[in-house]
Amino acid sequence: LFAAGDIFYVQGYWNRKSGSEVSIPQSVQDAVQRRTARVSEAARYVLTLAAVAGRHFDFALLQQLTQYDEHQLLLVMKELVSAQLVVEESADQFAFRHALTRQAIYSQLLTRERRMLHRTIAETMEQQPPVTPDLHLEDLAYHFYQARDWQKAVDYAQRAGEKALGLYAHRAAIDYFTWALEAADQLSLSPTPALYRTRGQAYETLGEFDQAQHDYTQALDAARKMNNRAAEWQSAIDLILAQALDDPVRHARSLNRIGNWHLNVEQANEALRYHREALAIFQQLHDSLGIAETLDLLGMTSYLGGDLIGGTAYYQQAIALFDELGNREGLTSSLATLTMRASTYHSDALIAVTSLAEVLPDAERAVKVAREIGQRSAESYALFQLGLCLGSQGEYTYALAACQQSLHIAEEIEHRQWQTEAHAMLGGVYDGLLANRQASDNFEQALVLAEETHSLFWTRMATGYLASVSILLHDYARAEALLHTALSHDTATQTLAQRMLWCASVELALAQGHPTRALEIIDQLVASAAQGAEGQSSLRVLKLRGEALVMLQRPVEAEIAFEAAREIATTQGVRPVQWRICIALGNLYQAQGRNTEAEQAFATARTLIEELAATITDESLRDNFLQRATAMLPHSRPLSPKQAAKQAYGSSGEIQSRDCRRPGAERTDHRNPREQYHAQVEPHLTQADRKLGDRKRIDREHVKTCSSFSTCPSPEIYVLPSCNLRTRPR
């Protein structure tokens, strides 16, 4: 692509040609020409119209353009499908089998011919009564722009940009606003300050501050020329001018924008200050939507700032308000992000609020709402959050399906940030599957995308992920180089991304035989835990603490750390971490000659490993997982499924706990009353009862039906297009 000039580097940024300018390989052109030569003239005509319409095209639109009746057009579409040029996506929509097929056909048209067809399609779409307002804004903007109908392009492109901005598709918004500015220039019109300002906001959110500053300056100049005080503000002086105008709503929104900027550069405390000030203004105005949106921002800022407890409180208020207002766009976003409040592999360096079982319904509902309102961007976001939740539980098949579908949508709508996050979530699932190479590839791609979009938060997160998996691959030099670029001795340990990097640094110190340094970092992580979490620690930090203490030959303290981590992993349903902790405890018991406890810990780990493997439908992934996971266990003859069940659940009417043995279980003289209570009660609790704790008890047959889920998933959520999932193992 670089050699062909299809991508190029200008003023510090990579860019690409528009789709119509990209070079098509001659081999592709020849193959398409051979296939089109074999179809009828009517089919070639329809194919040409479809190529101009876009990669995906509607049957109804083609019918209007061709004036064919339904039967005639169906015959033509069957012919094109048989020729392997297009595929049927649904009863109403078709798509080219490959983007290059469409591009090859499109490139054969003369420029004037393209413009004429774009105009015809745009005018036809304009006459269609929309199912919902602004349904075809993006398509109308595109076709009128390509038709060089500048008058229509100005209006539709600006409206499409505003819509994209509202959906957080900032890169697409920039493209639409740029089209509108070009159209205005062709008409010798002075662009409005709002047009420059909104494009500047999109650049600012993406961290492209030079472009944002340029647009804000243009907006200021345009406002002064028009003597428009209300438009005379830009990012650098936005807050001051909003206050001078005595407009509290604009003032509050300016505060939120500035707060969001601070969050993007990892200044969470500053961001919280601005958002809280904005919240106070909206509350004084009784502006429910402003309150809900600001609560959502406060929730995100708290989460990324390292406080899941405070962030959850904000999100719960935001969700209640969005529900009350019927604002489903805000609802799906808040529900999806609320997934992070549990010990996921994305947030397990923070103090968790609840179990993964409680989080799952929120993630499912977020996907459902996003699909109901037809928001592809929101669906992509909700899907990778769902994948995160499932992967953290060890439901790997469904997690992979959700993340892959999320990535597919993000690539289709060209949402770079969601592509970054989907790759990171996929990497996490593969990491849980012990497929380290696949994990590394996805984390690598996430890092590339994060750097392209200038996202400091995601650059740090992807670096932390990639460093951790590099350590697992024994590539310590690479891990060290990655961490050296992202960390300095004075980097704080507060935000989610900072803690991710420091945890990876602990892992590297342990791998290189420096447990004292590792423990120093761990102590800093514990000391900097979020306010309101005194006496608590996170799952990942506790596990790392245990590993460091083992290396320092401090077994009593190591056991306490591992036991605390095991308790969190068990009660919160984090099975991928639970089996690893059981192995660590087993090794610790074995080193102390506590062989009975060691055997029970290893048996529990083996049972968990086999349970997780049973849900992996991909044979190669399952075999790799079993081979690598069981290799971590002491060498012994593998248990049969019946033996594993007997050892895990007990026999002769006695139900044994699936937890690793609590310390001192056979040494009753040294147990405190709390330990005695657990020793007496725990053996009589079923797996489902123990997970649910004192809150409630549920029907045991229902637990059996749900297999490893603490609560049954909603089946319709997991019918993910293009994933070709088999029936879920029971």
Dump pLDDT digits (tens) for 561-598. 999 999 999 999 999 999 999 999 999 999 999 999 99
Centroid of chain to Cα 711: 23
Residue ranges of the domains in the chain?
7-109, 545-684
Q: Which pLDDT score is estimated for 141? A: 94
Distances (CA, A) of 539 to 312, 530, 542, 574, 708: 18, 14, 5, 9, 21
Residue, of 470 and 261, whose pLDDT is higher = 470
Q: What is the CATH number of domain 7-109?
A: 1.10.10
Q: What angle do helix axes 539-551 and 496-511 make, rounded to 10 degrees?
A: 20
Question: In which element (H, E) is residue 16 found?
Answer: strand 13-16
Q: What's the pLDDT band for 690 if we cut at 50, 70, 90?
A: very low
Q: Which residues contact 667 (CB under 8 A, 6 or more apart)?
A: none
Nearest to 212 by CA among 226, 201, 223: 201
Dump pLDDT digits (tens) for 606-621. 999 999 999 999 999 9
Cα-Cα end-to-end distance for the chain: 47
Helix-then-strand count for the chain, H and E:
35, 5
What is the reported pTM? 0.64
Q: What's the pLDDT band for 530 if we cut at 50, 70, 90?
A: low
As a whole number of angstroms, the distance between CA 95 and CA 51 comes to 10
Residue, of 192 and 285, whose pLDDT is higher = 285
Average pLDDT, the chain: 82
For residue 309, pLDDT over 60 is answered with: yes
Q: Which pLDDT score is estimated for 531? A: 54
